[in-house]
């Protein structure tokens, strides 16, 4: 697999988990990756820490922040939960705007996250548009995770063709299994080519499980020079 035109980063919440958190960035860098990501937060703690998280992201030069929608809670009207989520995401979008960053809204997959309300590309894009309408800032974007969308049974080519203009970040893992490219059946190289043809030139996040081997051994599919590709 060449993946010659893509830029890759590593999600340290799923790769290099055999190491303590503070040791993971150095391990990813040792494996040849020069871009690193920062995780996010959740409701009252989310509100209390969103500005701190934004400042932290700014200090690291991080320009895209993933704000997970959250899960459904029993005994509370879903409409009330959705209203609260929109309030929180609006706050996050404004904090992201303050540091010149994009707020990312991700669709998960129903089999693995059955209580998450956002389990399709159209639903995630609906939330993106609601946040942008609420803030007027137009800095919310879709986080297109091809593994999650595949597990949902979505037509990945159609999703790419329709939603690339609203996409702020892309993540990949092969399916089934959520392993490295080549361990499943997804035509990831072709899908990334299609994204590029549709105008996506951003980073490709590697969010796959390394299997039983150390994470540093899970990148054989990607030639080392391509792990440090700089922005075009």
The residues carrying an active-site annotation are 106, 207
Show Cβ contacts of residue 153 under 8 Å, excluding neighbours closer than 6 positions: none
């Amino acid at each position: 697999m060449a993946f010659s035109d893509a830029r890759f980063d590593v999600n340290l919440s799923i790769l290099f988990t055999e190491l303590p958190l503070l040791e993971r960035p150095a391990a990813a860098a040792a494996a040849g990756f020069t871009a690193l990501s920062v995780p996010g937060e959740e409701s009252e703690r989310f509100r209390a820490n969103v500005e701190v998280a934004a400042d932290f992201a700014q200090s690291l030069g991080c320009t895209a922040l993933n704000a997970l929608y959250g899960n459904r809670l029993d005994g509370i009207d879903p409409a009330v939960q959705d209203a609260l989520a929109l309030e929180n995401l609006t706050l996050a979008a404004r904090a992201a705007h303050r540091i010149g960053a994009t707020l990312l809204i991700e669709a998960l997959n129903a089999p693995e996250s059955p209580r998450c309300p956002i389990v399709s590309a159209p639903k995630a894009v609906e939330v993106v548009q609601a946040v942008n309408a609420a803030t007027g800032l137009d800095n919310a974007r879709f986080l297109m995770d091809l593994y999650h969308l595949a597990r949902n049974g979505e037509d990945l080519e159609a999703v790419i063709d329709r939603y690339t203009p609203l996409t702020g970040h892309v993540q990949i893992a092969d399916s089934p299994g959520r392993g490295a490219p080549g361990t499943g059946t997804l035509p990831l190289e072709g899908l990334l080519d299609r994204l590029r043809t549709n105008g996506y030139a951003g980073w490709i996040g590697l969010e796959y499980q390394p299997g039983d081997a150390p994470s540093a051994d899970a990148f054989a599919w990607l030639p080392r020079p391509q792990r440090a590709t700089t922005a075009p």
